[in-house]
Amino acid sequence: MKHARAIFFSIVAASVSPPLTGRAEPAWCGKAWACDTVGQTGQEASGKFAGFALGFDKGAYGAVTSQATSEDAQNRAGSKCAANNRNRQCDFLAATATCFGIAQLSTGYLTAQKDEPTRVAAWTQTLGGCNGDNCRLLMTACSGDDSRTSPPFPLPPNVTGGKIDPAMVGTWEVPINPGRWVWEIAPNGTYEFHTEAPDGAQSHAGMIVSDDGVWTLNSIAGYSDQDGGTYLMQGPDTMAMTGKFGFGIWRRVKRATASSQ
């Protein structure tokens, strides 16, 4: 991770993992993505297409977002999938102007659902398509997602975590130069993490428990992680934390909304 600060704990663990797909996205040029856009990512685009491809090899897939046409989305997803499929053409390609989800079965093979109206629907319908298998959701993506970062997850629907300290509830950020990491924690003990920075961090979501200065985390979608440590509120919207990767400070940028509860 070349451009991120050394603020290492569980959320940052995702950033040291390889990208989900095999083909590089536009390069970071020191001050802008592909030398033409300054500032953090994370803004959805309208009138775009997302695509994915699944390969013969267990776990081989490619996915893209924010493409100009459905053909572009399928072709580029196919190229990414081939890079993860020992350079062989992948056997299933699809595109959508809405959202899709990809999950991995216990056998290692993949399943997917497309044309879902929201990220939450992509989550529930994809897991529902596992037909009782204890599968793991790998991705939820929507057509207008920023193509330069891993698509985010919603807060896990139909899931209840453990006890959560009300002081931790809300949306938090860690500034990256440039961009930021975003961590949303709901009152029911669920969370989602995604990056809006050029660091290659993978999105993940799951359950978190916190009480009396101690927290634990278990992801159930995306990047696989378990972690825990201590936390200390240094004001109403500043939280200092420790975990298995060290120490970091998060700042709250949004209180919880009714929908997140």
pLDDT band at 13 (very low <50, low <70, confident <90, very high): very low
Number of residues written out for the chain: 261
What does the CA dihedral 123, 124, 128, 133 come to, rounded to 10 degrees? 60
Q: Find the range with the poorest average confidence among 42-56, 79-93, 179-193, 196-210.
A: 42-56
Structural domain spans, the chain: 43-142, 154-260
Contact 126, 101 (CB under 8 A): yes
Contact 118, 126 (CB under 8 A): no
Residue 20 has pLDDT above 60, yes or no: no
Contact 12, 248 (CB under 8 A): yes
Comparing CA positions, the residue from 92, 76, 196 lying closest to residue 145 is: 196
Q: How far apart are CA 125 and CA 115, in angstroms?
A: 10
Count other C-beta atoms under 10 Å from residue 236's C-beta: 9
Mean pLDDT for the stretch of residues 5-13: 33
- Reduced to 3 states, what is the DSSP secondary structure of residue 188? coil
pLDDT at 68: 95
pLDDT in tens, 240-255: 999 988 899 999 999 8
Mean pLDDT for the stretch of residues 89-112: 94
Residue 148 has pLDDT above 90, yes or no: no
Q: How far apart are CA 112 and CA 72, in angstroms?
A: 19
Contact 211, 163 (CB under 8 A): yes
pLDDT at 108: 93
pLDDT in tens, 21-30: 233 334 444 4
pLDDT in tens, 157-210: 999 988 999 999 999 999 887 789 999 999 999 999 999 988 889 999 999 999
Provide the β-strand partners of residue 181.
174, 195
Residue 75 has pLDDT above 90, yes or no: yes
Percent of the chain with pLDDT over 90: 65
Q: How far apart are CA 188 and CA 208, in angstroms?
A: 9
Kindly report the backbone phi and psi dihedral angles of residue 154, in degrees, each rounded to the nearest multiple of 5, phi listed first: -80, 170
The architecture that CATH gives domain 154-260 is: Beta Barrel (2.40)
Tell the burial category of 250 from Cβ atoms under 10 Å away from its Cβ (0-12, 13-18, 19+). Answer: buried
pLDDT band at 17 (very low <50, low <70, confident <90, very high): very low
pLDDT band at 41 (very low <50, low <70, confident <90, very high): low
- Omega prior to 166 cis, within 30 of 0: no
Count other C-beta atoms under 10 Å from residue 35's C-beta: 12
